[in-house]
Amino acid sequence: RAPTCCHRLAKYESSYGQQVGALALQLLRQHARHPLLVWLNVVAAGAMAVGLGAIYWDTGVDTGGIQDRFGSLYFMLLYLSLSSLSSLPLWHDDRLIFVRERASGAYGTPAYFTAVVLFDFVPLRLLPPLLFTLVSYPMIGLRAGLEARCSALLTLVLHNMASTALSMALGAGLPSVAAANMAGSLAVLACALLGGFLLSRNRMPAVVDWASSLSYVRYSFEGLLINEFHGVDGFRFTAFHQPGVPSDKVPHVDVSGDEILQTFGFRISDEALLDDTLRLGLLVAAFLGGTLLLLHARAVQRS
């Protein structure tokens, strides 16, 4: 029993902060030696932000413009959800090293978890939303203003964190990368289906509506739409017309942004936006908490 006691004592020879600092330095060196993933993420996000802005360039306020606003915002969320799948093998890559070093008392599970999450969130999960907000938003012609852009950035960051945290939880809980990839892909598809764009929220059966409450896409998509349309006037639903017909000759119905939100079953208040933001934060905390528990359980099982 003596070695076991020594290991337990050694486990706490350094503080939690010291453990996180040492692990952070180790991860920083690792990223410096192998920066490909970070650079791929930056280049892909930048290219996607520019490409999305070019495709939806200067969208209007008619029916087509309204549809483009919905589509561009949803595509941002879908891209971030899919890119978060890169976190699925995060715990598998260094699992043997983690179990061995944890058992030897080098550091604890919370310190390892904190360092890895920080080094995944900061370079990989903050920059893409920032690029979408700074590049795509003005190119598309989405709502301007510092407050609106900051709100959109916060929603996109929380969405990316929630999606990544879910991938981390699946990667920590499943025994292989292949199983985690399958589960992660299905989870993204399910959340996307129940996000409020592919399936009308006005026609969801009660069971489906309840299931959609577990989808992080539901809250991030509604949050972006409220931020885009709430309190804004000047939109119009236009009738079908041949190309080249002057806009003032096209039959149309003037609508407000709130009426657009109501038409598609979304809420129309600042309180609803705050509620969506808080729910996203709660999902991030829940997924990260589940990841930590799963990591600890597996480490104890293998030690």
245-276 pLDDT, tens digit each: 777 778 889 999 999 999 999 999 999 999 99
Residue 44: C-alpha distances to residues 51, 80, 162, 170 (Å): 10, 11, 20, 24
On the question of pLDDT at 298 being above 90, the answer is no
110-155 pLDDT, tens digit each: 999 999 899 888 888 899 999 999 999 999 999 999 999 999 999 9
Angle between helices 146-173 and 177-193 (to 10 degrees): 140
Sign (positive/negative) of CA torsion 247, 251, 255, 260?
negative
| Separation CA 201–CA 218 (nearest Å) | 10
pTM reported for the whole predicted model? 0.90
Give residue limits of the domains in the chain: 2-302
pLDDT of residue 303: 61
pLDDT-derived band at 13, boundaries 50, 70, 90? low
77-117 pLDDT, tens digit each: 999 999 999 999 888 877 778 878 887 777 888 999 999 89
The answer to whether residues 19 and 108 touch, using CB atoms and an 8 Å cutoff, is: yes
